[in-house]
Amino acid sequence: MSLITFLREKAAELGFQAVGITSAAPLAEAEAAMLDRVSAGLMDGLPWFTPERVRRATRPADLLPGARSVVSLAASYLRRDETNGTPESGPRGRVAHYAWGGDYHQVLRDRTRALVDALAGELGRTPASRVFVDSSPLAERAVAQRSGVGWFGKNTNILVPRAGSYVFLASVILDVDLPEDEPVRTHCGSCTRCIDACPTGAITAPYTLDNTRCISFQTIENRGAIPSEIRPELGDWVFGCDICQEVCPVNRRAVETAIHEFEAASPDVARPPLLQLLTLTQDAYAQRFRGSAIKRAKAVGLRRNAAVALGNSGDRSTVPALSTTLGQDPSPLVRGHAGWALGRLGGRAARTALSDRMGIEDDPTVAGEVRAALDGA
Ligand code: B12
Ligand code: SF4
Ligand code: SF4
């Protein structure tokens, strides 16, 4: 069996739907496109996403001494059965599909390392290697595109033939010369469904995302206030967003995950009860989200997101809980968003809670949120 056939078979055995190889040469087009995005302010909010990082991310040879090839891998996390149970009643939030199962960073890192170990057996030596799973500066989508793993969708996600876009990417740079694959020729054609469906207009043009408008950024990465004009558009999303993938016709025919760690979650993971999330303590957060990608949003971020989703729920039975949060949450960020939610829900009880708080709130940002909420309630 040739080395390449061995690599493909082993990758499939490890649960990857696609594998492609490209050289370690600079990703020049990606560098230019990414630098453009940074200078246009489209990556604002991610202070680590600098021109310097873009240069490193697009030069695989600088990331591993002696680099010759990059192997790109895609693993589906798609489960068509959203949960294995029926959620009880009460307002629930939505968690993006990619975070339903075990933390992909660890799961895929282990599987990619297992692939490198198997390759070492075939080569008769341990190759120098560096594995990337969404944690270090490598332009993983650009590598996936050039190595023929998939094509760029207009929502900026990589679409993989037969597996669609509900895939994680993993990459490994090796000091081994391997034959390069050709990019796939498929493209989105005249479809614009993702652009039309994005509630915040974050896909400002085909293949162009304004990070600051993306619900995924706002609910996961943003540590501060969510801009008030975006809050209504968050709907019930409390961690990430899948709308531009849900509407994508390519995903309708996509195969499901072959990795047991990504199997269907309990209803409380995929559709978390919002009132529980609103009062999530640091301890409960650490225990509940151990081994989950959801940890990235932090306890305060999840309480903030729950407040916004409750404001969007239209469910006035949640006013007492939001009023308690407005009065008692230790985080001014969460209190402020609870104030906004009360203003959005409106009604007598919400107005009373807001005006009661107005007299005693000593944090100027929260007081500003409460004042604005009272004006709108
Ligand atoms: C920063 C980041 C984010 C940011 C910014 C997203 C973005 N679109 O850039 C935020 C927080 C918003 C985010 C959200 C999500 N992310 Co993210 N994220 C990353 C990260 C760390 C860097 C991405 C990056 O470099 N962006 C900068 C932009 C400019 O780069 P780009 O999108 O590749 O840009 C290319 C295109 O614009 C293309 N291009 C430009 N012009 C043209 C013209 C034509 C004609 C064509 C064809 C192409 C093209 O060239 C550019 C350079 O390659 C990567 C991991 C990594 N290290 O690569 C994960 C990664 C991209 N994210 C991932 C995931 C799963 C998500 C979410 C789906 C999670 C969710 N459900 O909430 C969403 C998807 C949102 C979306 N529509 O993109 C996966 C994507 C898998 C896939 N199928 O593509 C990655 C690869 C992580 C992983 N290892 O699996 N993410
Ligand atoms: S993830 Fe949501 S907010 Fe971000 S581009 Fe896609 S649809 Fe828009
Ligand atoms: S929805 Fe249409 S335009 Fe958007 S990524 Fe899918 S095929 Fe491409």
Last residue of a domain, one of 136, 156, 174: 174
Q: Is pLDDT at 84 greater than 70 in this prediction?
A: no
- Give me the chain's average pLDDT, please: 96
- Looking at the structure of the chain, the number of domains it has is 2
CA of 163 to the centre of ligand 3 (A): 14
CA of 249 to the centre of ligand 3 (A): 7
- pLDDT one-digit tens code per residue, 160-219: 999 999 999 999 999 999 999 999 999 999 999 999 999 999 999 999 999 999 999 999
Nearest atom of ligand 2 to the alpha carbon of 197: 7
What b/e sequence results for 24-34 when a residue is b if at least 16 CB atoms lie within 10 Å of its CB, and e otherwise?
A: beebeebbebb
- pLDDT one-digit tens code per residue, 4-48: 999 999 999 999 999 999 999 999 999 999 999 999 999 999 999
- Domain assignment present for 112: yes
Q: Whose CA is nearest to atom 1 of ligand 2?
A: 241
In 3-state terms the chain splits into helix, strand, coil percentages (rounded to 5) of 50, 10, 40
Point out the residues that are catalytic. 134
CA of 148 to the centre of ligand 3 (A): 18
Q: Which of 18, 19, 109, 17 is nearest to 70 (CA)?
A: 19
Q: What is the CATH number of the domain that holds 358?
A: 1.25.10.10
Q: pLDDT at position 321, please?
A: 98
Rounded CA separation 132/202 (Å): 27
- List the domain range (segments joined by +) for residue 162: 3-85+98-174
- Domain assignment present for 253: no
Q: Whose CA is nearest to atom 87 of ligand 1?
A: 134
pTM here is 0.97
Over residues 98-105, the mean pLDDT reads: 95
Over residues 107-133, the mean pLDDT reads: 97
Nearest atom of ligand 3 to the alpha carbon of 247: 1
CA of 88 to the centre of ligand 1 (A): 34
- Domain assignment present for 208: no
Q: Is pLDDT at 127 greater than 60 in this prediction?
A: yes
Q: Whose CA is nearest to atom 27 of ligand 1?
A: 34
Last residue of a domain, one of 129, 151, 174: 174
- Domain assignment present for 34: yes
Q: Whose CA is nearest to atom 52 of ligand 1?
A: 30
Per-residue confidence band for 134, with pLDDT thresholds at 50, 70 and 90: very high
Rounded CA separation 325/304 (Å): 10
